[in-house]
Structure 1
């Protein structure tokens, strides 16, 4: 994968997260504060817990840090896949965001 291809896929992921947070804030009581700074998004939840999504450009990875742990994802076969398990990025984000928000939430690629 080229750097440009990575950035295209990674930017699509970050945009999907931002748009989903906006939609969840409009349709649920989740109250997620999504702050983006370059290649990083910090999701802040009531109770002051956070989820951090960070692009690792030299490695062509997206890193996800949540209460449950830290995860590294690479673009493989059309999806962001964990480097150590079969878990997909948006599945892990959905699970952890739901736990940290205290209600069911759903994140998916755009």
Structure 2
């Protein structure tokens, strides 16, 4: 993947997260505050816990940090997959956001 391809894919991912937060906030009582600064998004939940998603341009990866740990994702041509084989990004984000919010939340691209 070229640097330009990575930048496009990573931006699409961050935009999808923001759109999901907007949709979730309208449809549920989750009240997630989404804060974006360049290539970094911080999701802040009502209980004060956070999930941070950021671009790692030199590695062509997306990193996610949540209560459950830190994860690295690389685009495989179809989806952002965990570099250690633990699954797809939006599945992990849905799992961790649900755990941290206490609600069943569904993120998708």
TM bucket, shorter chain = over 0.9
Q: Confirm whether residue 81 of structure 1 aligns to residue 81 of structure 2.
A: yes
Superposition RMSD in Å: 0.7
Unaligned runs of 5+ in 2: none
Aligned residue runs from structure 1 range 29-68, under 5 A: 29-68=29-68
* Partner SS, residue 106 of structure 1: coil
Deviations 1:14-48 (A, max 9, x none): 00000000111111000000000000000000111
Inter-partner Cα distance in structure 1 for 2:101 and 2:30: 6
Deviations 1:73-98 (A, max 9, x none): 00003110000014100000000000
Inter-partner Cα distance in structure 2 for 1:85 and 1:37: 28
TM-score normalised by structure 2 residue count: 0.98
Unaligned runs of 5+ in 1: none
Corresponding residue number in structure 1 for 2:101:
101
* Partner SS, residue 85 of structure 2: coil
Inter-partner Cα distance in structure 2 for 1:53 and 1:66: 9
* Partner SS, residue 41 of structure 1: strand
Aligned residue runs from structure 1 range 10-29, under 5 A: 10-29=10-29
Question: Would you say how many aligned residue pairs link Structure 1 and Structure 2?
Answer: 109
TM-score normalised by structure 1 residue count: 0.97
Inter-partner Cα distance in structure 2 for 1:85 and 1:67: 19
In the TM superposition, structure 1's runs of 4+ consecutive aligned residues that sit over 2 Å from their partners are none
